[in-house]
Amino acid sequence: MGMQVDTSCINCNHAVAGRDQKYCPNCGQPTPAHRIDWHFLGHELEHSVLHMDRGILYSLKQLMGRPGPLLRDYIEGRRGNQVKPLLLITMMSAAVLLLNRLLVGTSIVDGGASEALLAGQTLPAEMQRFMDASRTVGAWIESHFAAFTLMLLPIEALVFRVVFNRYSKLNYPEWLVITTLLTVQTFVIWTVLVLLHRWVPHTQALAGALGMIYTVVSLVQFFKQQPIWSTVWRSVLALAVFSVASGMLVFAGTVAVMGIG
């Protein structure tokens, strides 16, 4: 007897043309569905992560090696080989947090400098309450780092949208995608610096500074038809405004915790 041939998709029950049709034309489900075994997992790892012309490593390589063209490709619709920005930023924020805990062993929210300056001093009651509330907010950010990062993205996109308002025709959702990918760049730099933390001090501050430089370079490449200096000063202004806005958000959270406590 011949081998039974699947005639419908196991996912949506749409008719398929036997085993020669690799994917369902209706929902994209691979046909036939393969059993999950070691071969299946290896294949998924290769094609989803390690593949040279698509997947996570490919997207990260393009983002760090040719950021401007990649941003342009994504905005203009050439996204077939790229991993979704939200998946990239979620994975990279988790990588930063995990590696920081395993290799550095300190909080990802760097309050060490202020703690060191105030060590051994008797603080006024209100100042002590503020320091305690600040530690509470820092602990929350540490525990919800990916969520906190995603919460900041709409603010960052809005700032860039306003600063570049008459400079480009990009809409707000497009700036959301761009700022997400630019933040992924910073996380990639931060991840590398965490791996080198024994030889490179102040990894968080350095990652922030290098991430800003990479952002400026990326946007200069992206707006290649515009004057370089005009793109540079707008990028620096947007980054400065966003830094102040995010700092104010953390400060407001600290004050709110003080009021609750």
Tracing tokens 């990009």 back to the chain, one arrives at 170
Measuring CA to CA, which residue among 75, 74, 67 is closest to residue 220? 67
Residue 30, strand partner residues: 23
> Virtual CA dihedral for 16, 18, 22, 27, nearest 10 degrees?
20
pLDDT score at 121: 59
Amino acid identity for residue 206 in this structure = L
Backbone angles phi, psi at 152, to 5 degrees: -80, -25
Task: Kindly report the pTM of this predicted structure.
Answer: 0.78
pLDDT score at 46: 55
| Rounded CA separation 190/131 (Å) | 26
133 has pLDDT over 80: yes
pLDDT score at 40: 57
| Rounded CA separation 254/250 (Å) | 6
Taking only the tens place, the pLDDT of each residue in 240-255 is 999 999 999 999 998 8
130 has pLDDT over 90: no
More confident residue, 204 or 174: 174
Residue 15, strand partner residues: 8
Taking only the tens place, the pLDDT of each residue in 181-228 is 999 999 999 999 999 988 888 888 899 999 999 999 999 999 999 999
SS (H, E, C) the chain: CCCCCCCECCCCCCECCHHHCCECCCCCCECCCCCCCHHHHHHHHHHHHHCCCCCHHHHHHHHHHCHHHHHHHHHHCCCCCCCCHHHHHHHHHHHHHHHHHHHHCCCCCCCHHHHHHHCCCCCCHHHHHHHHHHHHHHHHHHHCHHHHHHHHHHHHHHHHHHHCCCCCCCCHHHHHHHHHHHHHHHHHHHHHHHHCCCCCCCHHHHHHHHHHHHHHHHHHHHCCCCCHHHHHHHHHHHHHHHHHHHHHHHHHHHHHHHHHC
Taking only the tens place, the pLDDT of each residue in 57-115 is 888 999 999 999 999 999 998 887 788 898 899 989 999 989 988 888 776 765 444 44
pLDDT score at 54: 56
| Rounded CA separation 210/239 (Å) | 12
pLDDT score at 122: 59
* Domains of the chain, residue spans: 1-33, 83-260
pLDDT score at 31: 73
pLDDT band at 6 (very low <50, low <70, confident <90, very high): low
Taking only the tens place, the pLDDT of each residue in 44-56 is 555 555 554 457 8
pLDDT score at 52: 43
170-191: average pLDDT:
95
Amino acid identity for residue 44 in this structure = E
